[in-house]
Each structure stands twice: as structure tokens, then as C-alpha cells.
Structure 1
């Protein structure tokens, strides 16, 4: 899967999210990229019910790159626990959703859009929506031969700056920096999406 980096991209006040996606599509195609279908990453947010005492959030995430996998994150008092399961977990949550004594479903967030392949890179241009309303643009760039983020950040940054411009910093994002010497995994991609989804939620309050 390589090393994946998420980058938010600003939406100008005189443009729609779809217009920004179209602009970025032209840019990446001009670099020689080939269309490679569509992708979606979604997140269902559950809040713990008051009788549990401590406020806990349960996040259920799906990534179309891993259709048989369900990623779950439990968040409580600034601590998180990540769990990776198969799709049977969705059936369990579906059964629990009726009369659930622990969590209530609050919101669904997703990022979806076109995928592109260009040499050693995979690029995904995602419109982030909450309740069907576009809240921003997320660009995922995967450097497929990479394993350790610290060894390929410079190449990733240079590539992203080539079509995203100055919004890409030469300094790696905090999450990538924290994983600089560790082998990258699909959970790391999902964690980045969760961070960005939570930022989108905060900006809508």
C-alpha cells in the first residue's frame, strides 16, 4: 500500500467543491496521470450514552481500498484504541443500533471522489461531506514503493507541491512525523482521515 499522506485543500469563496475537484483533476492529468476509478472513505460517529459516565466516542470507518475490513476507533479522555475487524462487525453494529444501551449514532462523514495513478503514486481527490453538505477537499497521495514515512517525505512533498501548490508544507504533518521511523499500515491512513473528519466536524459547529 505504500505511505499515504492526507492534505486538505482550500476551497475559494467563489468556487464550489466540485469546481475545485475539476481543477485538481486537470492538473494531475496534465502531469500524466491516468484515471483509476473512484474511492470512498466513510466514518460513522457514535457517542456514548450519559449513563456510562465518561464521554466516549466510537468511530466506525470503511476504506474502499480495503473492502473486507472495518476500522474502529474508541476515544475516551484523550486516549484512543484502534481495532481492525472484518465486515461482520458492521452486522454487529446494525443489530446494536436498535435499542443500543451504550452508544447512539450521531453523524456520518465521508470523503469520496476520483482516483488517479501516476508512476509510483496513487492520488485520490475527495469531497468531504457531512449530512450531504460539502465541507472541504481532502487529497490523499500514496507513494506505493514507500514503507517508512521518514525516508520518503521529501519526495511526497515535492510531488504534492507540483499540483497542489503552496498549501503543502515542507514540514511533514504531525501524524507523519510521529510515524517517521515506523512501517506504515492501512490503520495509519484511516487515522489521518479521522483527524481530518474531526476537524471538519468542529468547523461546522
Structure 2
């Protein structure tokens, strides 16, 4: 089980954060990967909601299915990877949005009780969208105890004088019982914002 994890986007380059991590004494351990593919309703009038499928290399046997956030609530399902084989059979109602496919590839580091994961997000296998940071305090899953530590550690690590707030935890009003699904839900929020920016930029070009 994971500890409490905070996922967010930064403007730093992956190389710059690699150097910062080493300077702090963090040890590179392994590569990691996260991916996301949304399935959209084939027909708008069907009443079917879109669903996002996400994977994280830390949980290699699992698929995370996440529905849209409605009235502050979000449905999340964790299944084995065989679920991916079912989705193409639902093409009558759901169609994969390959143009919005996101993938993060990066490096994991350890520093005392923290895991640091720094990766580059790309869209549709080609376009780089930004740098994503994942910070985990692994000894505890109690959000109220750990969140101040995560905020402080992130400030020390990034050292950019930007005051950040972990919006996900405020939205969820989560105090305990942090789980793997919360990690992927945060990645989905990051990808959604990147996609929104991409759409706005594309429209402003005309």
C-alpha cells in the first residue's frame, strides 16, 4: 500500500529536477510510467458517461477506471489488467479518444522516508505537455498528518518560492485512508488540465 502521495505539474525541466534531487542526496532507483486513455460516449444522447483508464508502473497488475467528477464525487474502480481487453468490446457505447492519450515517463528517487518521481508528460505519443512531480511519504496513509510534510518537502525540493496548495485533498475532504486510486485520480486531474490548455491554445491560434 502507498503512503500519502501528492501529484502536480511544475514548470521545471526534468533535467533541472534531476540535479536538484541529487543535490539533496536522493538516490535514483528505477524508471516509472503512467498512462491514460479516455473512452468517450459514442452518442451523446445515450446517457453514458465517459470513463478514463489509467495505469501506473508501481501497480503493474492493476487498471484504474475513473468516471467524471459530479457534485464533488468521483467513481473509481480498481481491476486487474484484463479489464483493458473488455473495453474494445464496448465500442457500441464507448470510443477510445486516442488523440487525448497521455503518458508520463520518468525517474524515481528515494530520500529517507520519501519517494520522488519526476516525469515528462506527452500527449498522443508525440507532443510534450509538461513535467509532472509525484512526492510520496511512504510510512503513513493518514492525510492530515502527512500533508504538511509533503507541502514542506516540495517547497524544499523545488526551491522556487511558489506557494502551492494540494487542491485534490481539499476537493476530496480526505483526512485518512489514502489509497492507490487517489494517486491516479490526481494524475487524471493533471492530464485534464493539460488537455484543456492544449484546446484553448489551439482555438486561440485561429
If the length of structure 1 is used for normalisation, what is the TM-score?
A: 0.87
> Larger % of strand: which?
1
Distance 1:51 1:141, change over 3 A: closer
Give the Å deviation of 1:37: 1.1
Q: State whether residues 148 and 180 of structure 1, in contact with CA within 8 Å, keep that contact through their aligned partners in structure 2.
A: no
Equivalent in the alignment of 2:134 = 140
Equivalent in the alignment of 1:7 = 8
> Matches of 1:111 and 1:57 in 2, distance apart?
21
Q: How does 1:39-188 map to 2 (within 5 A)?
A: 39-50=32-43, 52-54=45-47, 56-75=49-68, 80-94=74-88, 96=89, 100-106=91-97, 107-131=100-124, 132-165=126-159, 166-169=161-164, 172-177=165-170, 178-188=172-182
Aligned length: 192
Equivalent in the alignment of 1:38 = 31
Equivalent in the alignment of 2:204 = none
Distance 1:127 1:168, change over 3 A: farther
Q: State whether residues 48 and 93 of structure 2, in contact with CA within 8 Å, keep that contact through their aligned partners in structure 1.
A: no
Deviates more, 1:54-63 or 1:114-123: 54-63
> Matches of 1:38 and 1:93 in 2, distance apart?
28
Equivalent in the alignment of 1:15 = none
Give the Å deviation of 1:56: 2.1
Give the Å deviation of 1:52: 4.5
Task: Tell me the secondary structure at the aligned position of residue 204 of structure 1.
Answer: helix
> Matches of 2:40 and 2:60 in 1, distance apart?
25
Task: Tell me the secondary structure at the aligned position of residue 181 of structure 1.
Answer: coil
* Residue in structure 1 matching 2:19, options 5, 26, 29: 26
CA RMSD of aligned residues (A): 1.8
Task: List alignment gaps of at least 5 residues for structure 1.
Answer: 12-19
Q: Are 2:202 and 1:202 equivalent residues in the alignment?
A: no
> Matches of 2:103 and 2:163 in 1, distance apart?
22
If the length of structure 2 is used for normalisation, what is the TM-score?
A: 0.86
> Matches of 2:44 and 2:11 in 1, distance apart?
40
